[in-house]
Amino acid sequence: VATESQASTSTEAANSASLAKTRVKRTPNDFIFGKVIGEGSYSTVYLAKEVSTQREFAIKICEKKHLIRERKTHFVMREKEVFMKLDHPFFVKLAYTFQDSERLYYVLTYARNGELLGYLHKLSVFDIPCTRFYTAEVILALEYLHGLGIIHRDLKPENILLGDDMHIRITDFGTSKILQLDENGKPVNSAEQKKKNSFVGTAEYVSPEVLNNEPANFGSDFWALGCIIYQCLSGSMPFRSGNEYQTFQKIVKAEYTFPEGFNAEAKDLVSKLLVLDPEERLGMPNTGGMSALKSHKFYAGLDWDTLPSSSPPKLMPYL
């Protein structure tokens, strides 16, 4: 009996030790820092290698003094809150966080194949299969995100990264909004949720309602999706203009045109997303929700359920 109980205590000891190991806080010395892979508005993201495992990560570093001076602490808190909620293959994951006296460190997935935008610039436009595939992955990501009550609010090709497997990894949640949902997954209609936006997205992708200083809603992400589909197939942005003011004038009037030869099904889809009234955009409850968006003829024949495990189409330059 003694040996048995000894055995069990030693296994317990081993388990709790291994548990403790995963909980032990890392320090900057556990990593070798490499190139800067991106600058956020109050942070820098570095490529880094974990010494003990040789695994590569993206590490976001924020200066505490700068955050406090710029009153951005709530942004990093919100971002961490969002990352802790996310558990889906199409999003960058937060592996660990730690801090030293001056800085906060966020250890995140390194999306080895970089920004979708990089491929779009290299190829200038995507063909129909690639546009269908990658925008469908964005739709699945939005379905998951909105299901958690989270609005991305700054969706754009720079924030759609690509993993080793060439599936998407969406990132940059510093400016997301978390809505409280009722039992049917609908945003609760509260004063808090009607609060004005403390943030405006990137000019070319920002929605009319955000420019009119109305609260962002899930529709704001569908507007950005419309801009992204247009950009994948045309190589340019629907509301691009000489300067930001002119761009905003076009957005609030949903004033844009399609280039010659723009795919007809995609034209129909984009025209149902770039709609002034957010409630009337495809994907919103009034127009049949996510299932209506997923059954649009542009995605005819696409198997939504196997998408995350399917092999992505080759992003090929036109011959």
Ligand X SMILES: C[C@@H](Nc1nc2c(c3cc(-c4cn[nH]c4)ccc13)C(=O)N=C/C2=C\CC1CC1)C(C)(C)C
Kindly state whether residue 315 participates in binding ligand X, applying the rule CB under 6 A.
Answer: no
The span from the CA of 208 to the CA of 205, in Å, is 10
Residues 168-207 that bind ligand X (CB under 6 A): 171-172
The angle formed by the CA atoms of residues 260, 263 and 268, to the nearest 5 degrees, is: 105
Please report whether residue 154 would count as binding ligand X according to CB under 6 A.
no
**37 lies in the site for ligand X, by CB under 6 A:** yes
Residue 93: phi and psi, rounded to 5, are -100, 150
Does 232 sit near ligand X (CB under 6 A)? Answer: no
Check binding of 40 to ligand X (CB under 6 A). yes
Contact 44, 36 (CB under 8 A): yes
The residue at minimum Cβ distance from ligand X is: 38
Q: Are 103 and 61 in contact (CB under 8 A)?
A: yes
- Which amino acid is present at 6? Q
Take residue 195 and report the two structure tokens written for it. Answer: 């609060």
Question: At 48, is the secondary structure helix, strand, or coil?
Answer: strand
User: Residue 161, interface with ligand X (CB under 6 A)?
Assistant: yes
- Pick the stretch among 1-9, 35-43, 119-127, 139-147 that binds ligand X (CB under 6 A): 35-43
Nearer to ligand X, 170 or 284 (CB): 170
172 a catalytic residue:
no
Q: Does 220 bind ligand X (CB under 6 A)?
A: no
Site string for ligand X, 274-313 (x = CB under 6 A): ----------------------------------------
- Which is nearer to ligand X, 172 or 204 (by Cβ)? 172
Choice between 111 and 232, CB closer to ligand X: 111
> How far, CA to CA in Å, does 102 sit from each of 27, 28, 99, 316?
13, 12, 8, 45
Q: SS3 of 54, please?
A: coil
Binding part of the chain for ligand X, among 2-10, 103-111, 189-197, 274-282 by CB under 6 A, reads 103-111
- In the set 30, 154, 172, 221, the catalytic residue is 154
The enclosing H or E element of 162 equals strand 160-162
In contact, 95 and 109? CB cutoff 8 Å: yes
Task: Please identify, among the stretches 8-16, 156-164, 228-236, 292-300, the one whose residues bind ligand X according to the rule CB under 6 A.
Answer: 156-164
Q: How far is the CB of 121 from ligand X (least distance, A)?
A: 13
Per CB under 6 A, 82 contacts ligand X: no
Report whether 226 contacts 232 (CB < 8 A): no
Are 131 and 239 contacting, i.e. CB atoms less than 8 angstroms apart? no
Catalytic residues: 154
Give contact residues for ligand X (rule: CB under 6 A): 37-38, 40, 45, 58, 60, 92, 106, 108-112, 114-115, 158-159, 161, 171-172
